[in-house]
Structure 1
């Protein structure tokens, strides 16, 4: 998900203190259980009553501290004590799923040096073997030189090894027809579609409503999220296939969060909202005050400290 612009939500469709509780306090229907959960008090408490667990999700891993969407980033999230991570999935020329936010490799790898004649360096124009040659760490910090773009298989295996959980974003599905089926196939092969993983460790989201619908149609047991800020009047339509409405933090209000919680999703439970991308204390407290179910952040430690203040 793009951390730098609220405009993406429109294109897609369509401060309070907290009491830190043990992770075991999270209700079964919460989107995730972070290292710290929180129960809101004061304004927003009516919203919080819908679900009293505030989930903290490390955006593209702990991407303020390690190169985004790499194994190093999810390892850093684990080091900081965070269970839930978020990633982005795209597809290579030969059909491999890889972890990459942009549809171009140029921003976060050295592809321009390795393959100088292949502009604009689109993910879909490179094979998995070619992408595996690229350095995905040096752009961020020289100490990460040699970090690679993981395949989805490699990523899922690391998340499992780390005892972490995943909010998986299907990125730009319009570029990759059938990517939902491909994603589910990898999840199945890596053991992520059994009852325990589906119920407790996995959310699949996208800015593409049709992509979310496709995942729900193929695996209605999986929790799904739509990325955007649909009009309140349109929420019932989204509630037919999405368990979450995951909105940019700059586009939401307490009333909007209440409107989301007033709807019941495809599994018969109140809709949830994870808001993104919140990297500072003031906006973390603001979002928590609205009663959101979770916060997606590049700086999960900053958010944790803010909502525990």
Structure 2
């Protein structure tokens, strides 16, 4: 069963989801034993087409426990996994629908998107790979025993996507105590979207993608558990400023940084105190971090 579009925030749904919330969320430790979490960015995009089921399956085979994805919404209100606002880069949409430029996700129905090949651009062996729905993606993450850093992509284009995504996660069992405590983080570049998630489900761990000024960090700490900046902006003093604050669950604010594909750079960031490294080569980064501890 797929969750249908949310035109307005229904009070009853809000109350129902909020009633399920826990008062606190435990810190989510790195399952590989290293103090710095490694997150597989869009799955394993150097081994399989990004944000597909093949990509998270490849990440599982490589030993990646945490995976990251991007959620958007189709014209008819279905949630799908794709990074770009346009389908052009990672599907054959230009060939299938040549007159629909700029081929934005929001302008296509799910039935239309399901006709697209999302794998051949990467390699012929992935021909026929599809853009997954959030429902199918979550089933695969669950089957793989993985943990999820879920990004709400361009939520300003999709009013109500915060509640809709939470409703889908609830429907699939991902808002119970075990998942919320150990296996789920929701992030976005849009601070209002992160606030909405926190307001609806204050127990869910949240992250803001960006690097707010040090002066503004206390405001973000009211609704974010993580500040997740691009690695090029990270300094020891900034990490210390983040760590000096307490997040909404009464725990030290964390910092996950992206997209780090160089082992030496990842080791340096971990030594600065970064709590998480998001990488296209998460298996290599994990090995580099572990080796640095030997």
Cα distance in structure 2, aligned partners of 1:109 and 1:253:
37
Aligned residue in 2 for 1:100: 82
1:69 correspondence with 2:51: yes
Instruction: Tell whether 2:19 aligns with 1:37.
Output: no
- Please give the TM-score of this superposition, normalised by the length of structure 1: 0.85
Residue 160 (structure 1) aligned to one of 129, 132, 142:
142
Please report how far the alpha carbon of residue 32 of structure 1 lies from its aligned counterpart in structure 2 after TM superposition.
4.5
Does residue 117 of the first structure (1) align with residue 99 of the second (2)? yes
Which of 126, 146, 165 matches 1:144? 126
Give CA deviations for 1:169-188 in whole Å, capped at 9, x if unaligned: 00001111111011011101
CA distance in 2 between partners of 1:65 and 1:107 (Å): 17
Give yes or no for contact 1:32–1:84 (8 Å, CA) kept in 2. no
Q: Distance in 1 between matches of 2:179 and 2:37?
A: 17
Q: Is the 8 A contact 1:56 1:300 kept in 2?
A: yes
Does 1:276 pair with 2:276?
A: no
Alpha-carbon RMSD across the aligned residues, in angstroms, is: 1.0
- The aligned residue for residue 42 of structure 1 is none
Report the alpha carbon displacement of residue 33 of structure 1 after superposing the two structures with TM: 2.7
> Is residue 54 of structure 2 the alignment partner of residue 57 of structure 1?
no
CA drift at 1:275: 0.6
Q: Which residue of 1 aligns with 2:191?
A: 209
For residues 66-93 of structure 1, what are the alpha-carbon distances to aligned partners after superposition, in whole Å with 9 as ceiling and x for unaligned?
1100001100110011111000000000
Match of 2:273 among 279, 283, 291: 291
Counterpart secondary structure, 2:266: helix
- In 1, the alpha carbon distance for the partners of 2:28 and 2:233 equals 20
- CA distance in 1 between counterparts of 2:146 and 2:194 reads 23
Match of 2:67 among 85, 90, 93: 85
Contact 2:225 2:248 in 1 (8 A): yes
Alpha-carbon distance in structure 1 between the residues aligned to 2:59 and 2:253: 27
* Contact 1:90–1:99 (Cα < 8 Å) also in 2: yes
Q: Deviations over 1:25-61 (max 9, x none)?
A: xxx9444534x232xxxxxxxxxxxxxx210100000
CA distance in 2, matches of 1:133, 1:121: 14
Post-superposition offset of 1:301? 1.6
**Counterpart-to-counterpart distance in 2, 1:283 and 1:129:** 43
Q: Which runs of 5+ in 1 are unaligned?
A: 1-27, 39-52
Shift of 1:142: 1.1
Q: Does 1:188 align with 2:170?
A: yes
User: 1: distance between equivalents of 2:154 and 2:26?
Assistant: 28
- Answer yes or no: is 1:266 the counterpart of 2:263: no
C-alpha distance in 1 between matches for 2:286 and 2:26: 21
Q: Please, what TM-score do these two structures have when normalized by structure 2?
A: 0.89
The answer as to whether partners of 1:31 and 1:293 remain within 8 angstroms in 2 is: no
User: Helix, strand or coil for the counterpart of 1:108?
Assistant: coil
**How much does 1:269 deviate?**
0.3
